[in-house]
Structure 1
């Protein structure tokens, strides 16, 4: 048991994740965003998946934690305050839709109140694949226990597109991918060794957005 636990700690510490980040910025602010705000929203208009709300929250927390001068509006609060214009079936898909949105007086007024200058649309998902191995658990005279070994892959692919509501245009784009292998050895007690794939992707996008939004980077 001690040997297996030690192995698990080593693998978690060294990590089993590979990632890449690609950035393309068209018009980078020179001194941060001042007292303006930014909102990070997940794309959920696809029929086969939705960008996970916890990933959107992770990116927002990453930015706020690294630079507390940046005000990140909570995704759910933003969507609720602008209902129904940012529901999956009505949300703008292209920067050209900003003009149409701002023609709606309630939208223009609310955006002015929120001081929202930048909107970041995040599109993507983390999926699990390539599961292998087996595990058996049971209860016997000596107590309950499990025996076996399992492994699986996790793959993250996310793209963040930055819209400038002042210029009514797309001003930047960031793409990140991460892949990792997780393990579950079990001798009496299963020990999950989870590759932090989604967290790595979150950090990658968060760091790139900070370079764009923050005056400190």
Structure 2
């Protein structure tokens, strides 16, 4: 399923977003009293999935459906150290069987009641910039004059793993792009396109359709 969204506001730049969803085994009545953890992939050498984006997606889900228990990323990593560090974390669903043969891992996951683990891979990057601005102090005071613009692109993929079935049960990808502006006549006025926030909402909404019994 492919969705395309566009949003503009008076004090923010325009953002366009697309969401592609593939769900293989969707629960019919939500996840009940089980918990879910959302982790960022950070094994690549050229980027890392931002912790604040992972936190944003988790809060989006928890705020929209308070019946879903979302375990914080840092809490989970500390509890399962060192099995989910970037160099040791499982890369494929078939790695779960070997991982769960470790008694400390199986015991901790049972304590946390973790049924689903969601890996998010991606980042937000600045794509281009243009314009110029000068600031100075004169007899009449300080001021800035000019105009600047820059773009941002967000690309993220969320992969849902089911600990019970030791399998991947869904995948969601989203991309968002937007242009921000900074006009200045004495005082710079940033008009920021909420690109990363739009991507967070897109991923969060799609995950809610999978996890929540209310959607």
Q: How high is the TM-score relative to the length of structure 1?
A: 0.94
* CA distance in 2 between partners of 1:11 and 1:65 (Å): 25
Matches within 5 A, 1:121-140: 121-140=119-138
Matches within 5 A, 1:13-162: 15-162=13-160
The list of structure 1 runs, each at least 4 consecutive aligned residues, that deviate by more than 6 angstroms after superposition, is none
Deviations 1:72-105 (A, max 9, x none): 0000010011100011111110001101110111
Q: How many aligned positions are there?
A: 208
Partner in structure 2 of residue 203 of structure 1: 201
SS at match of 1:63: helix
Shift of 1:138: 1.1
SS at match of 1:46: coil
Q: How high is the TM-score relative to the length of structure 2?
A: 0.95
* CA distance in 1 between partners of 2:21 and 2:171 (Å): 6
Is the deviation greater in 140-149 or in 115-124? Answer: 140-149
* CA distance in 2 between partners of 1:214 and 1:140 (Å): 59
* CA distance in 1 between partners of 2:71 and 2:134 (Å): 46
Is the deviation greater in 134-143 or in 29-38? Answer: 134-143
Matches within 5 A, 1:161-176: 161-176=159-174
Shift of 1:30: 0.5
SS at match of 1:86: coil
Deviations 1:161-193 (A, max 9, x none): 000000000000000000000000001110000
> Which structure's residues are more often strand, by fraction?
2
